[in-house]
Amino acid sequence: AMLKVFEEGRSIHQETGNMFGLDYEGGKKTNYLMSYGGGAWKISREFHMPIDRAKVGLAEYFRRYPGIKGYMDETEAQATETKIVTMWTGRTRRMDALYAEDWRVRQQGIREAINTPIQGGAGEIVKIAMNELHYKHNAPMLLQVHDELLFEVDEKDAKEYALWLRDYLPTITEINGMRFPVAVGVGRNWLEAMKGEL
């Protein structure tokens, strides 16, 4: 169901926000809270929302996206048993916190185990794109921050280059048959480029 949101070009953050009676930014924050193991209590506290309202939103979230709960449960079980999690690309990470005697440290390890393939997978996608652009296209890359790449090209070529990136990048970062949409912008500096989305 969540993949359908992406495939239809809808905003997953807005969809989540709607479930909790929040705006886009609130939905985005909720999605990130979920990837870090946040539950109804955390959502309630973050948005000054009655706990019952947060529980209703969370129940709707898991009803609409049952694969998320399945992923969380499966990842926790695998990590608890093997102390290892696997990224989308096959790379693994040892979860040393799961060996701890302290229950709180192990719980933090479980949250990290659930988040690692998400955040680590996103990081790997960016690295795949950077490698491809650098070695095959000699891209004029200046900077990478999280899931953003900054390029410097002649002003006359900027829009055309940005549109090429928007169309090309999803073709090289496909994982399990899913392509990841790319947003691009043009500007004289990073802030302008972020505001000048094409």
Q: What is the pLDDT of residues 167-177, one digit of tens each?
A: 999 998 777 77
Phi–psi pair at 36, nearest 5 degrees:
-100, 15
Give the containing element (helix H, strand E) for 148: strand 148-151
Across the strands, what pairs with 84? 94
Task: Return the structure tokens found at 28.
Answer: 């985005």
For residues 125-142, give the mean pLDDT: 89
Domains and CATH numbers, the chain: 1-64 (no CATH), 68-121 (1.10.150.20), 139-195 (no CATH)
Six-digit token string for 147: 């899931």
Indicate whether 136 pLDDT > 90.
no
> Residues 102-121: what's their mean pLDDT?
93
pLDDT at site 8: 86
Residue 86: what pLDDT?
93
Confidence of residue 162 (pLDDT cuts 50, 70, 90): very high
Closest listed residue to residue 27, CA positions, set 43, 42, 45 = 43
Q: What pLDDT band is residue 107 in, cutting at 50, 70 and 90?
A: very high
Output DSSP code: residue 102: S
For residue 4, the model assigns a pLDDT of 85
To the question of pTM greater than 0.75 for the whole model, the response is yes
pLDDT score of 164 more than 90: yes
User: Does 1 have pLDDT greater than 80?
Assistant: no
Mean pLDDT score across all residues of the chain: 91
Q: pLDDT tens digits for 36-95?
A: 888 999 999 999 999 999 999 999 999 999 999 999 999 999 999 999 999 888 899 999
Asked if residue 97 has pLDDT above 90, the reply is yes
pLDDT band at 195 (very low <50, low <70, confident <90, very high): confident
The separation between CA 192 and the C-alpha centre of its own chain, rounded to angstroms, equals: 23
Place of tokens 């229950």: 103
